[in-house]
């Protein structure tokens, strides 16, 4: 029984740790991306499939006129099929030729400005690598996770504390 409880506690800890890792990675990437790039003067069409913005590269001190367009993808309303989305970004610098790049949803993480601009034309919130910070894993997650893990942790601690510090007869 004791090994089963330890196995369950370890499994809960590993799953929780994995989610914490995913969330931390997403937050660190977002902070680095927004520290490097900034967007302003955003204008989108009425269908929100094409937007123009000014992209500022803070490291190189350059400004680009950026146009991002969702060129493919199935949008069923509430739950769009994100893996079918394709994007086209055009970066226009005053001193050089326009840079045009097309990419799919899975390739949005690098270079970092792709993820920042793709968020403008995606109908739901997206992250750079995953959607872990945008959705709950289940509908009961906001209720079960904080209170359920607290009850499980306290119960396991009490169980082991009672067995370990049992008075000798």
> Does the structure show a pLDDT above 80 at 70?
yes
Q: Dihedral angle at the C-alpha atoms of 19, 24, 29, 30, nearest 10 degrees?
A: 100
What is the token pair recorded at 98? 């326009």
pLDDT digits (tens, 9 = 90+) for 1-52: 778 877 887 888 787 778 777 777 777 777 777 788 888 888 888 877 899 9
- The CA distance from 102 to 149, in Å, is 43
Length of the chain (residues): 169
Secondary element (H or E) of residue 158: helix 141-164
pLDDT at 144: 72
Average pLDDT (59-75) is 85
pLDDT digits (tens, 9 = 90+) for 74-97: 776 666 778 888 999 999 987 778
What is the token pair recorded at 161? 């504390």
pLDDT digits (tens, 9 = 90+) for 102-153: 998 888 888 888 888 888 888 777 777 776 656 666 666 667 777 777 787 7
């Amino acid at each position: 029984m004791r090994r089963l409880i330890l196995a369950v506690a370890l499994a809960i800890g590993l799953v929780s740790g994995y989610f914490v890792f995913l969330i931390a990675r997403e937050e660190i990437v977002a902070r680095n991306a927004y520290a490097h790039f900034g967007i302003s003067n955003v204008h989108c069409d009425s269908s929100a499939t094409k937007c123009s913005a000014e992209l500022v590269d803070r490291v190189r001190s350059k400004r680009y006129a950026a146009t991002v367009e969702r060129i493919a993808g199935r949008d069923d309303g509430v739950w769009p099929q994100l893996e079918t989305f394709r994007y086209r970004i055009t970066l226009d610098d005053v001193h050089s030729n326009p840079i045009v790049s097309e990419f799919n949803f899975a390739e949005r993480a690098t270079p970092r400005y792709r993820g920042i601009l793709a968020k403008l034309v995606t109908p739901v919130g997206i992250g750079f690598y995953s959607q872990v910070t945008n959705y709950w894993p289940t509908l009961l997650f906001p209720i079960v996770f904080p209170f359920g893990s607290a009850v499980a942790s306290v119960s396991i601690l009490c169980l082991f504390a009672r067995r370990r510090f049992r008075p000798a007869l």
